[in-house]
Every structure is written in structure tokens, then in C-alpha cells.
């Protein structure tokens, strides 16, 4: 589903060059929930964005569902992302003026509009948000916001879910609910790559990896 081969990425900053990823390779297959742990600034978010086709690596190769996103033009890459990848962020990144249902439907603007409302309604029911569908993000609890973001990530039925500290802002119960949903997604044949600094999250993983100073190691 996701293949990362010898990927490197570095940033140039005023205090010198920072190597976010150094020769990183990993694979996430269908049914797998792979957790990458590491301290802050270890390159976790860079790895996730690169896998999602949002950040071109300096070297190496990435394929998502057999396609190399960086070999595609910007529009085709956006279409691939819309079709195959779902993102979940620690900060939720919900659009403040759209209600819950509309936030969940946002990815449908980029494709797969047919049946999107029905799929979104199913997801809201599944995540216990049906009664909140007309509420704005500002009116939701933190857990509800993350569940909304999760529903948004799944509305286009992606094959790969990329999650960046999805439980970082949640209490234990809400964190558990989000991880359960991701586990269920993986159990249904999806692939999940989750980056976090929380050790407990690794317990739900089918495989856990450690990223430190751009180097990826097995644990």
C-alpha cells in the first residue's frame, strides 16, 4: 500500500542544515497499523507529509497504491491524494465556518462527490456525531473535533490513513476511541501510518518503529 525507499529530506535553516529524514525505508501493507514513535523534531511529521505526497523528498522513492506521487503533476497528485489517502492531524485543522457534516464532506470537493453525503452520514453515526452534524467546530469538544477530523479522513474511502499525533490533544477515553477506529480501519484492509511520541499508542500497532534524528529503526 505504502512503500518508502531510502528517502531523505533536509531543511536549510539559519543555524545550519537539518536532516529530517536520512535514508528512511518502510512499507505499510493492507491491514497494517504501523506506529512511528520519536521525540519532537525527530522528523515524524516530515515523514508523514512526504508519504502523503505533500512534501517532495530530496532523495529516495515513495509509492502509494503502486503510484509514485512525485512522478505526477500537481493536479494528478492532488487527485491521488483525494482518492487514496486520508489525513488526521493533532490540531484537527477543521474549517471553522463549516459545520461537522460539511467538514467531513470537504474532501469530496476534490473528487468522489457521488454518494459522499451518505458516506459522511454513516461515518458521523459510527463516530457518535449524528447529533452534532450541524454544529460548528467551535461548538464541539476536543474529542468530537478529532472524531470529525477522522470522519473527514475516511469519507473518500482511502486505502491509506496518515495520522500525525491523532491522540495528542485527547483524554484517554477519546484517544482510545480514535485508536479503535484506526484499528478497525486497518482490520478492514486499510493501511495506517501513525506518528506519535506517546509510548502507549504503540501498543495498538501491528508494527512499531522508532525515528530519531532522521534515522528509522525497528523497536
With contacts defined by CB under 8 A, how many residues of the chain interact with another protein?
37
The distance of closest approach from Cβ of residue 74 to another protein in the complex, given in angstroms and rounded to an integer, is 6
Determine which residue in the list 25, 59, 95, 131 makes contact with another protein, applying CB under 8 A.
95
Rounded CA separation 10/27 (Å)? 21
Q: Which of residues 36-55 bind another protein (CB under 8 A)?
A: 45-46, 49, 52, 54-55
The distance of closest approach from Cβ of residue 113 to another protein in the complex, given in angstroms and rounded to an integer, is 9
The distance of closest approach from Cβ of residue 91 to another protein in the complex, given in angstroms and rounded to an integer, is 5
Please tell me whether residue 102 binds another protein under the rule CB under 8 A: yes
- Cα angle 24-66-186, degrees, rounded to a multiple of 5: 75
* Phi, psi of 187, deg, nearest 5: -60, -30
Rounded CA separation 20/11 (Å)? 7
Residues ≥6 apart with Cβ < 8 Å to 61: 3, 4, 5, 6, 7, 68
Please tell me whether residue 107 binds another protein under the rule CB under 8 A: yes
Q: Which of residues 151-190 bind another protein (CB under 8 A)?
A: 152-153, 156, 164-165
Determine which residue in the list 78, 177, 202, 213 makes contact with another protein, applying CB under 8 A.
78
Contact (CB, 8 A) for 178 and 186: no
Determine which residue in the list 17, 96, 118, 173 makes contact with another protein, applying CB under 8 A.
96
Which of 35, 29, 31, 60 shows the shortest CA–CA distance to 48? Answer: 35
> How much is the CA Rg of the chain, to the nearest whole Å?
17
Q: Which of residues 111-150 bind another protein (CB under 8 A)?
A: 111
Give the rounded distance of the alpha carbon of 86 from its chain centre. Answer: 6
Determine which residue in the list 90, 146, 196, 204 makes contact with another protein, applying CB under 8 A.
90
Sheet with 191-196, edge to edge strand ranges: 85-89, 160-164, 191-196, 33-37, 207-212, 215-218
Rounded CA separation 152/101 (Å)? 9
- From the list 74-82, 140-148, 178-186, 210-218, the region that binds another protein by CB under 8 A is 74-82
- From the list 63-71, 89-97, 175-183, 210-218, the region that binds another protein by CB under 8 A is 89-97
Which chain residues interact with another protein by CB under 8 A? Answer: 45-46, 49, 52, 54-55, 74-75, 78-79, 81-83, 86-87, 89-91, 93-98, 102, 105-111, 152-153, 156, 164-165
Amino acid at each position: 500500500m505504502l512503500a518508502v525507499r531510502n528517502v531523505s529530506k533536509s531543511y536549510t535553516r539559519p543555524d545550519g542544515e537539518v536532516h529530517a529524514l536520512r535514508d528512511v525505508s518502510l512499507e505499510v501493507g493492507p491491514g497494517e497499523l504501523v506506529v512511528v514513535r520519536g521525540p519532537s523534531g525527530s522528523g515524524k511529521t516530515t515523514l508523514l507529509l512526504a508519504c502523503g505526497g505533500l512534501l517532495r523528498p530530496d532523495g529516495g522513492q515513495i509509492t502509494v497504491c503502486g503510484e509514485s506521487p512525485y512522478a505526477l503533476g500537481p493536479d494528478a497528485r492532488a487527485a491521488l491524494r483525494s482518492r487514496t489517502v486520508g489525513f488526521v492531524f493533532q490540531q484537527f485543522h477543521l474549517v471553522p465556518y463549516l459545520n461537522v457534516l460539511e467538514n467531513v464532506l470537504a474532501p469530496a470537493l476534490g473528487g468522489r462527490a457521488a454518494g459522499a453525503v451518505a458516506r459522511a452520514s454513516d461515518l458521523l453515526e459510527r463516530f457518535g456525531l449524528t447529533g452534532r452534524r450541524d454544529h460548528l467546530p467551535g461548538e464541539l469538544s476536543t474529542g468530537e473535533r478529532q472524531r470529525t477530523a477522522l470522519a473527514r479522513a475516511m469519507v473518500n474511502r482511502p486505502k491509506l490513513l496518515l495520522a500525525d499525533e491523532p491522540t495528542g490533544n485527547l483524554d484517554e477515553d477519546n484517544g482510545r476511541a480514535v485508536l479503535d477506529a484506526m484499528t478497525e480501519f486497518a482490520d478492514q484492509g486499510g493501511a495506517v501510518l501513525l506518528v506519535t511520541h506517546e509510548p502507549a499508542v504503540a501498543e495498538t500497532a501491528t508494527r512499531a518503529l522508532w525515528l530519531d534524528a532522521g534515522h528509522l529503526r525497528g523497536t
